[in-house]
Amino acid sequence: MRFSKAFFPTLKEAPAEAEVVSHRLMIRAGMIRRLAAGVYTLLPLGVRAQRKVEQICREELDRAGAQEVFLPTLNPAELWQKTGRWDVYGKELIRLKDRHGRDFCLGPTHEEVITNLVSREVRSYRDLPQNLYQIQTKFRDEIRPRFGIMRGREFTMKDGYSFDRDEKGAEESYGLMVEAYKRIFRRCGLTLGVAAADSGAIGGSFSHEFMVMADSGEEAISVCEKCGYSANVEKTPVEVTLPDNRGGELEKVHTPDAHTVDEVATFLDFPPEQVTKTLLYMVDDEPAALMIPGHRELNESKAKNALGAATLFLADAAVVERITKAAVGFAGPVGLEGVRIIADNSLKGRGGLVLGANETDHHYTGGEEGRDFRADVFADLIVAGEGDSCPECGEPMNIRRGIEVGHVFKLGCKYSEALDANFLDENGETKTIVMGCYGIGIGRTVAAAIEQNHDEDGIIWPTPIAPYHVDIILANMKDTVCREVAEKLYAALGGLGVEAVLDDRDERAGVKFKDADLIGFPYQVIVGPKGIKEGRLEVKSRKTGERDFLPLEGATEAVASRILGEIETFASA
RNA sequence: CGGGGCGUAGCGCAGCUUGGUAGCGCGCCUGCUUCGGGAGCAGGAGGCCGGAGGUUCAAAUCCUCUCGCCCCGACCA
């Protein structure tokens, strides 16, 4: 590509709306432009980077035995009604009607469509296993789109689905995908963490998130440096031990204006862990009181799982006031009627607790579980935090931030049952297909790569996903010898499979250097009069900033082998 | 949806408090000079001040409504 002809609209400044680095750089480098909230146009450089990631996905998934399909975006409502998700998915599902008034939605994911397909075509155990994937635009009317392409309402996703005869087969398929995913992200040049994830109502340990470690990540992961355990903080088991302070008297104390745990702890001069948080939730439309030690955070997904609940959200102030007959901030378990009490394991049989008194501006001290109140259920209800013990080896863990770029999930028979995806086994018995699903956010992977690889001047692409490999910079447009050399190099590199841009714009050298750094070409070949007179070409690595001076003779091959070799290294590592 | 904030030239912003001629930097166009890290000078184009209504002799500025966007929380690739 000739820069003079290219549609690479770079910007010196980023629009105010862009906050995170990847978003700012993608706009500045001319990769994306916003059309509406969470809806982005991909410009040529953006498309090329994304295509690279897609291609790596294809190669690795095909290698793992998966096959590419292409499912419709426009989905008839009936399929979604059959699995119940037409109702469950809520506002995130973009719904529309056709001219006849029939209901449709834009696919936010494709379990329904793919399972429907497979249920029609697969009849015998001989037809299994199958592993099908697609790379396609997904639509989710996110509550809050943000960070540019990282969380859009329309985005490109690789989604794959495996179909097996039994659990064992499904687990093998799952394992193959985990391996393929590791290779994919490694080839994209990403430093990755694989974390055990919450598998929700389905249970089991067969869900993993692929996290690109980055401070701007939206996910928190607990990591044990000692044994390598790693899991989403929501999934990490937490065991908190509270001091055993039984035997004290239950005493009501006046705590004016002390609503939060910190305020109460400070006011009464108690350590926060002895001040028990009682939170009122609506659990499947029934109010329930959830209790945890005051210094920790409630983990809603653990609570949901422990209760087998479908929905769980914080009760609003009106409900709290009705149940506790007090202002928000003074809820407690003592004398609370008609409400289930679910307490964190750490509270079992503990005493010396500070509890809300269900009376505005009052708390109890010396509360004791089992004596002053009784929890109906005990469970682990706490979000893992820095320093919590590793569930595997007991060492203190660290909390790190990550961007979820991939998620694999053993689905079991949830969709195959709902959509009658059955087959006949060797004995002629009807069996339900066991499924797995596997997703990769393509655009998000590109953005994550930028989060992980940039400096103050711009993007530093890992070579395998760079939109172009080399920028040939003509430092002086008037020098005809330089032009000739650059043109030859440009043509020759193309012939060797290197993707090159020739910056032949009538601009000063500084402008070209700045753009090259911003766009992030892994290499810049600088063709200027000085070097040419000495018979040498200057090659600059974007990553290290090192400059090599290569003899003109054989320079093309040297550049090509360096770049292609680098890509190879990522692939074979 | 709750909380916070912003809409003025392609981009970044000032002007608004205290109504009266719409401005700055970058970018863009023309010319001359310059030419290895976002050049200098000169000239120029570009604005229903997000939209609607109201107050006023007069509104970017004050009031009401509305739309859009961003940030913080619950969803997810």
User: Rounded mean pLDDT of A175-198?
Assistant: 91
* Within A 399-438, residues with CB less than 7 Å from strand B: 404-407, 409
The pLDDT-based confidence of A37 (bands split at 50, 70, 90) is confident
* Within A 251-270, residues with CB less than 7 Å from strand B: none
- Going from the C-alpha of A55 to that of each of A52, A187, A480, the distances in angstroms are 5, 11, 39
Q: Is there contact between A521 and strand B, defined as CB under 7 Å from any strand atom?
A: no
User: Tell me: the pLDDT tens digits for A461-510?
Assistant: 999 999 999 999 999 999 999 999 999 999 999 999 999 999 999 999 99
Phi, psi of A137 (to 5 degrees): -80, 130
Q: Rounded CA gap, A399 and A417, in Å?
A: 38
Q: Rounded CA gap, A311 and A185, in Å?
A: 34
Task: Please determine, for residue A245, whether its predicted confidence score (pLDDT) is greater than 90.
Answer: no
Task: Please determine, for residue A219, whether its predicted confidence score (pLDDT) is greater than 80.
Answer: yes
Q: Is there contact between A511 and strand B, defined as CB under 7 Å from any strand atom?
A: yes
The pLDDT-based confidence of A330 (bands split at 50, 70, 90) is confident
By percentage, how much of chain A surpasses pLDDT 70?
A: 98
Predicted pLDDT at A386: 87
* Within A 162-181, residues with CB less than 7 Å from strand B: none
Residue that the structure tokens 């070949």 belong to: A525
Predicted pLDDT at A360: 85
Q: Is there contact between A88 and strand B, defined as CB under 7 Å from any strand atom?
A: no
Phi-psi region of A495 (alpha: psi -120 to 50; beta: other; left: phi over 0): alpha
* The residue type at A7: F
Q: Rounded CA gap, A311 and A288, in Å?
A: 12
Predicted pLDDT at A532: 92
Predicted pLDDT at A199: 56
Contact by Cβ (8 Å): A289, A331: yes
Q: Rounded CA gap, A440 and A461, in Å?
A: 19
Contact by Cβ (8 Å): A221, A252: no
Predicted pLDDT at A429: 96
Residue that the structure tokens 């040939």 belong to: A472
Predicted pLDDT at A202: 46
User: Tell me: the pLDDT tens digits for A52-63?
Assistant: 999 999 999 999
Q: Is there contact between A520 and strand B, defined as CB under 7 Å from any strand atom?
A: no
Parallel/antiparallel/unpaired status of strands A74-76 and A103-106: antiparallel
DSSP state for residue A390 in the 8-state scheme: P
Does residue A121 or residue A284 have the better pLDDT? A121
Q: Rounded CA gap, A509 and A526, in Å?
A: 10
Output the six-digit token pair for A285.
Answer: 């439309």
From the CA of A18, how many Å to the C1' of B48? 28
Mean pLDDT (chain A, rounded) = 91
Beta strands in A23-129 (DSSP E): 32-36, 39-42, 67-68, 74-76, 94-97, 103-106
State the burial class of residue A73 (Cβ atoms within 10 Å of its Cβ: 0-12, 13-18, 19+).
Answer: middle
The pLDDT-based confidence of A169 (bands split at 50, 70, 90) is very high
Phi, psi of A544 (to 5 degrees): -100, -20
Q: Is there contact between A16 and strand B, defined as CB under 7 Å from any strand atom?
A: yes
List all residues 6 or more positions away from A338 whose beta carbon is below 8 Å from its beta carbon: none
Q: Which nucleotide is nearest to A11 (CA to C1')?
A: B11
Predicted pLDDT at A566: 95
List all residues 6 or more positions away from A409 whose beta carbon is below 8 Å from its beta carbon: A199, A202, A206, A207, A436, A437, A438
Task: Please determine, for residue A201, whether its predicted confidence score (pLDDT) is greater than 60.
Answer: no
Predicted pLDDT at A233: 86
* The residue type at A561: S
Predicted pLDDT at A205: 58
Which residue minimizes Cα–C1' distance to B12? A13
User: Rounded mean pLDDT of A98-106?
Assistant: 93
Task: Please determine, for residue A27, whether its predicted confidence score (pLDDT) is greater than 90.
Answer: yes
User: Rounded mean pLDDT of A161-179?
Assistant: 96
Q: Rounded CA gap, A520 and A294, in Å?
A: 48
User: Tell me: the pLDDT tens digits for A360-416?
Assistant: 888 999 999 999 999 998 999 888 888 899 988 999 998 888 899 999 999 999 999
Predicted pLDDT at A198: 64
Lowest mean pLDDT across A31-45, A189-203, A374-388, A414-428: A189-203
Q: Is there contact between A100 and strand B, defined as CB under 7 Å from any strand atom?
A: no
Model-level pTM? 0.90
Lowest mean pLDDT across A2-6, A324-328, A556-560: A324-328
Q: Report the candidate in A137, A165, A166 with the shortest Cα–Cα distance to residue A149.
A: A137
Q: Is there contact between A155 and strand B, defined as CB under 7 Å from any strand atom?
A: yes
Report the helix count and the strand count for chain A, using DSSP H and E: 15, 31
| Bases on strand B under 7 Å from any protein CB | 1-2, 6, 11-13, 25-27, 34-39, 68-77
Q: Which nucleotide is nearest to A312 (CA to C1')?
A: B74
Predicted pLDDT at A203: 46
DSSP state for residue A141 in the 8-state scheme: -
DSSP state for residue A309 in the 8-state scheme: -
The pLDDT-based confidence of A149 (bands split at 50, 70, 90) is very high
Does residue A66 or residue A234 have the better pLDDT? A66
Lowest mean pLDDT across A169-178, A386-395, A432-441: A386-395
* The residue type at A52: K
Predicted pLDDT at A329: 79
Task: Please determine, for residue A573, whether its predicted confidence score (pLDDT) is greater than 80.
Answer: no
Contact by Cβ (8 Å): A66, A114: no
Q: Report the candidate in A443, A403, A405, A401 with the shortest Cα–Cα distance to residue A26.
A: A443
Cα A508 to chain center, whole Å?
Answer: 41
Cα A557 to chain center, whole Å?
Answer: 39
Contact by Cβ (8 Å): A474, A460: no
Question: How many residues in total does chain A contain?
Answer: 573
Query: Which neighbouring-strand residues pair with A33?
Result: A41
